């Protein structure tokens, strides 16, 4: 399953089995499409899908999901980024506050850089910590935005990471980050209520939310 977000709108590309397994509240009242829509239509889903904020494109196989997403993204600028869900020995996760929302540290991949190195570098830069240990790949997330006169889709590769928690994190204010906080897993719900759909996907992939 691939979800592409634009603000609170989304297009989901998924197999028939994945669609059936969706919670009823995600399927109810949503328009199920078998035809492609483009980036411009994603920004106007109220018009495209009869007031639905989610369009679901059901495919016959995982290969078809990739094919349909490829058709959707073919004319978009693809931006690759990496980020991390960092845990300390107590199981708390490292979150940042930027642009009025709680978020996870992430950033664009530099030329010639491996995505794993990008993810660790961005976490260390945005939270002013060192000694991040890369663990497992979690998921990709996708969101759409306007880049000059073109539409771009950012693919962020997310990894689980660990830190000993002994170094006090500090926000990288030049990047608009005003807070960095270790959040206990039992307290994460209100933070996820004030974050982005893509970040909720990361926590879901990690089995936290």
CA distance 129 to 124: 5
188 and 104 Cβ atoms separated by less than 8 Å: no
177 φ, ψ to 5°?
A: -90, 130
Alpha-carbon gap, residue 111 to 51, rounded angstroms: 41
Tell me the longest C-alpha to C-alpha distance in the chain: 52
Q: Report the sign of the C-alpha dihedral through residues 110, 127, 3, 159, in that order.
A: positive
The answer, yes or no, to whether residue 19 has pLDDT greater than 70, is yes
Query: Token match 């869900």: residue?
Result: 85
d(CA 192, CA 30): 23
The pLDDT value given to residue 74: 86
Q: What is the DSSP letter of 186?
A: G
DSSP state at residue 53: S
Please write the tens of the pLDDT for every residue from 153-204: 999 999 999 999 888 999 999 999 999 999 999 999 999 999 999 999 999 9
163 phi, psi to nearest 5 deg: -145, 145
Within 10 A of 25 (CB to CB), how many other CB atoms are there? Answer: 8
For the stretch 69-128, pLDDT in tens is: 888 888 889 999 999 999 999 999 999 999 999 999 999 999 999 999 999 999 999 999
User: Alpha-carbon distance 77 to 188, whole Å?
Assistant: 33
**pLDDT class for 132, splitting at 50, 70, 90?**
very high
111 contacts: CB under 8 Å, gap ≥ 6 = none
- Cα 80 to Cα 15: distance, rounded to the nearest angstrom: 25
Tokens of 139: 């998921």
pTM, to two decimals: 0.89
76: β partners: none
Q: Which domains does the chain have, with CATH numbers?
A: 2-73 (no CATH), 77-205 (3.90.79.10)
């Amino acid at each position: 399953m691939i979800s592409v977000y634009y603000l609170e709108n989304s297009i989901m590309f998924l197999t028939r089995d994945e669609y059936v397994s969706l919670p009823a509240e995600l399927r109810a009242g949503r328009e199920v499409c078998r035809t492609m829509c483009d980036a411009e239509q994603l920004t106007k889903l109220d018009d495209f899908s009869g007031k639905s904020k989610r369009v679901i494109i059901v495919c016959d196989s995982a290969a078809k999901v990739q094919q349909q997403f490829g058709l959707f993204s073919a004319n978009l600028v693809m931006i690759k980024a990496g980020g991390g869900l960092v845990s300390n020995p107590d199981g708390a996760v490292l979150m940042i506050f930027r642009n009025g929302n709680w978020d996870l540290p992430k950033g664009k991949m530099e030329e010639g850089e491996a995505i794993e190195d990008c993810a660790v570098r961005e976490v260390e830069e945005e939270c002013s910590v060192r000694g991040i240990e890369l663990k497992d790949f979690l998921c990709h997330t996708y969101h759409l935005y306007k880049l000059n006169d073109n539409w771009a889709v950012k693919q962020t590769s997310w990894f689980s990471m660990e830190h000993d928690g002994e170094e006090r994190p500090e926000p990288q204010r030049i990047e608009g980050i005003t807070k960095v906080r270790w959040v206990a897993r039992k307290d994460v719900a209100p933070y996820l209520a004030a974050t982005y759909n893509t970040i909720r996907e990361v926590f879901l992939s990690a089995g936290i939310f």
